[in-house]
Structure formats: C-alpha cells, structure tokens
C-alpha cells in the first residue's frame, strides 16, 4: 500500500513503508478465538435454560464488547501505524482517533541501530533505534526485517543527495596525511 502522496514534498519519494510486525496481533487473534469459543460453548449450555433468550443477549453483548476492545482496537492500531522512510525523512504515524506522528530529517540522524531478542529473531522483527545530536534516542518497536531496515536507513542517510557533502560543487576533504610514493617498494 503506497503512502499518501499529499504528505510528501516535491521530489520526495517513498523508499520503505511498513506496518508493525504481525507478532503484535498474536494476542488479539488468540483473544478472538477464545471469546468465540466460549461464546459458542455458552450458547450451547444456555439452550437448556428457561431464560435462554436473556442468556443469549448477555453472552452476545459480553462477547461483542470483548472482541471490539481486545481484538478490533489492536487490529486498527496496527493497521493505522506507519513507519515510512522517504528520500528526505523518516515518518512515524500512529493512532486511530488521536493521531500522533513524528518526522525526522535524514540529515539529523547521527546513528541507527537495532536490537532484537530471541523471540524477535525467530519471527523476524526488532526495535529500531535512531539517534540525533539534539534528542534522546527514538525507539520504534516491532519493525519487520529490522536488520534490513537499519541497513537501508544507513544507506539513505549516507547517500542523501541533500547533504552538504554530496552537493554538486563541493569536494570531499583531502586526506589528512599523504604518504610519499616509494616506487613500488615496500
């Protein structure tokens, strides 16, 4: 799914767009299966009661509330969370009703690293940590393929044509020490 073009500046293009890893949906899907199973089991037991209609209404209402609160809301939160790397910046947006976001210009990023434990390594995700000279490190959890994202982000930061080092007409600094040519002898 492409990120909305109206949020991008002129000449900016999306390099990477990811949602959090599917592992954050494991518990909500487990809750969905358990609530549906308990609802079916409760409905079967309620058939023998004289007040079966009231029991069906109670079971249905409790099940619906649990499914909305413990499955649907986490799913919407997952679906509306975006981690986007463009040619100019890193964008992170999260939220269903109350949206929050942060934009980090690539030129402000001083280091990018990742962390992942055993479970994260098994499922293929991790925490991406970006540091800039002005702020505390920013941590983005459950990034799928975090090692590849870290490498891509490192390349984007170092190959960004908007940096002073890469601008046409600027030359890299000369080497600090020149060694005399020894005529092929060592």
Q: What is the CATH number of the domain that holds 103?
A: 2.30.29.30
Task: Report the sign of the C-alpha dihedral through residues 174, 179, 181, 186, in that order.
Answer: negative
Residue 167, pLDDT > 60, answer: no
The continuous run of DSSP H or E covering 54 comes out as helix 52-67
Q: What DSSP designation does 176 have? A: S
> In angstroms, rounded to a whole number, what is the distance separating the alpha carbons of residues 8 and 26?
33
Residues 42, 16 share a domain: no
pLDDT score of 161: 56
The dihedrals phi and psi of 94, each to the nearest 5 degrees, come to -150, 145
Instruction: Kindly state whether residue 182 falls inside one of the protein's structural domains.
Output: no
| Helix then strand then coil, % of the chain, to nearest 5 | 45, 25, 35
Looking at residue 174, what is its pLDDT? 46
pLDDT at 39: 83
The answer to whether the beta carbons of residues 21 and 125 sit under 8 Å apart is yes
Residue 125 lies in a domain: yes
Task: Round to whole Å and give the CA distance between 120 and 125.
Answer: 5
Question: Cβ(104)–Cβ(90) under 8 Å?
Answer: yes
Could you tell me the pLDDT band of residue 160, with boundaries at 50, 70 and 90? low
pTM: predicted TM-score of the whole model, two decimal places: 0.73
> Can you say how many angstroms the Cα of residue 154 is from the centroid of all Cα atoms in its chain?
16
Closest CA to 89 of 111, 67, 105, 68: 105
pLDDT at 38 over 90: no
Are 101 and 15 within one domain? Answer: yes
Q: What pLDDT sits at residue 146?
A: 94
Question: pLDDT tier at 149 (50, 70, 90 boundaries)?
Answer: very high
Same structural domain for residues 16 and 103? yes
Domain carrying residue 141? 11-20+84-162
pLDDT at 79 over 90: yes
Q: What integer pLDDT is reported at residue 40 of this predicted model?
A: 84
pLDDT at res. 9: 84
Cα–Cα distance, 13 to 70 (Å, whole number): 36
- Least confident window among 4-13, 79-88, 103-112: 4-13
């Amino acid at each position: 799914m492409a990120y909305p073009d109206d949020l991008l500046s002129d000449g900016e293009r999306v390099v990477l767009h990811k949602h959090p890893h599917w592992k954050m949906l494991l518990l909500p899907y487990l809750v969905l299966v358990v609530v549906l199973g308990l609802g079916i089991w409760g409905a079967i037991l309620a058939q023998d009661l004289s007040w079966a209609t009231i029991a069906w209404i109670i079971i249905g209402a409790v099940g619906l509330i649990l499914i909305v609160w413990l499955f649907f809301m986490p799913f919407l939160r997952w679906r509306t969370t975006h981690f986007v790397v463009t040619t100019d910046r890193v964008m992170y947006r999260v939220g269903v009703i109350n949206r929050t976001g942060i934009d980090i210009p690539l030129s402000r990023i001083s280091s990018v690293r990742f962390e992942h434990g055993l479970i994260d390594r098994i499922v293929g995700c991790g925490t991406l940590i970006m540091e800039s000279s002005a702020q505390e490190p920013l941590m983005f959890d459950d990034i799928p393929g975090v090692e590849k994202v870290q490498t891509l982000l490192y390349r984007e930061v170092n190959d960004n044509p908007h940096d002073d080092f890469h601008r046409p007409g600027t030359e890299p600094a000369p080497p600090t020490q020149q060694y005399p040519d020894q005529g092929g002898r060592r």
